[in-house]
Structure 1
C-alpha cells in the first residue's frame, strides 16, 4: 500500500485553515481520487510542540493508495484542481513524501 504524506510546516508568517482543509479540501480530494485508488485520508492537525510552544507543523496528512500507478493516474487526472485549492487553506508549500505502509 502506498502512502503519500503531505507535511505543512509552521513557518513564520504562515497560516493554515484547518476547518477549510477538513471540510472542503480533504473531502474534495476523497471524491476526486477515490476512483483512482485512494483508500483513505488521515490528517492530524498540530496544536502544540511538547514544550507548549506553537506546533512545528500545521498538519500532517496521509493519503493511502492501492499502488503508485493508481496515485500517478489520480494526480494526472485531478492534481491540477487539488493543487489550485491549496491557497484557500494555506500559504505554505507542503512537503510531500512517498512511502510504503509498513506491516504492523
Structure 2
C-alpha cells in the first residue's frame, strides 16, 4: 500500500480552514481520486506543539493508494483540479512525501 502524505506547515502569516478541509475538501478529493485507485484518506489536524504553543503543522493527510502507478495516474488526471481547490482552505503549499508504513509489533511495550 502506498501512502502519500500532504503536510501543511504552520508558517508565519499562513491560515488553514480546518472545517472546510474536513467537511468539504476531503469529500471532494475522495470523489475525484477514488475512480483512479484511492483507497482511503486519513487526516490529522494539529492542535498544539508539546509546549502548548501553536502547532508546527496545520494538518497531515495521508492518501492511500494500492501502488505508485495508481497514484501517478490519479495525479496526472486530477492533480491540477485537486491542487486548484487549495485556496479555498489554505494559503500554504503542502509538503508531499511518499511513505511506507512499518508495522512491527514490539515485544518490549509494557515491560520494565
Q: TM-score range by the shorter chain?
A: over 0.9
Following superposition, the deviation at residue 102 of structure 1 comes to: 2.5
Between the aligned partners of 2:83 and 2:17, the Cα distance in structure 1 is 15
1:32-71 deviations in Å (ceiling 9; x for gaps):
1111111110001111011100000000000000010000
Aligned residues: 104
Between the aligned partners of 2:32 and 2:22, the Cα distance in structure 1 is 15
Between the aligned partners of 2:55 and 2:100, the Cα distance in structure 1 is 26
Structure 2 equivalent of residue 94 of structure 1: 94
**SS of structure 2 residue aligned to 1:47:** coil
Between the aligned partners of 1:100 and 1:74, the Cα distance in structure 2 is 19
**If you compute each CA radius of gyration, which structure gives the higher value, 1 or 2?**
2
Between the aligned partners of 1:12 and 1:4, the Cα distance in structure 2 is 25
Structure 1 equivalent of residue 73 of structure 2: 73
Q: Give the aligned CA root-mean-square deviation in angstroms.
A: 0.9
Unaligned 5+ runs, structure 2:
105-112
Query: Displaced runs of 4+ in structure 1, greater than 3 A?
Result: none
TM-score normalised by length of structure 2 = 0.89
Q: Say yes or no: does 1:13 pair with 2:17.
A: no
Unaligned 5+ runs, structure 1:
none
Structure 2 equivalent of residue 63 of structure 1: 63
Structure 1 equivalent of residue 35 of structure 2: 35
Structure 1 equivalent of residue 49 of structure 2: 49
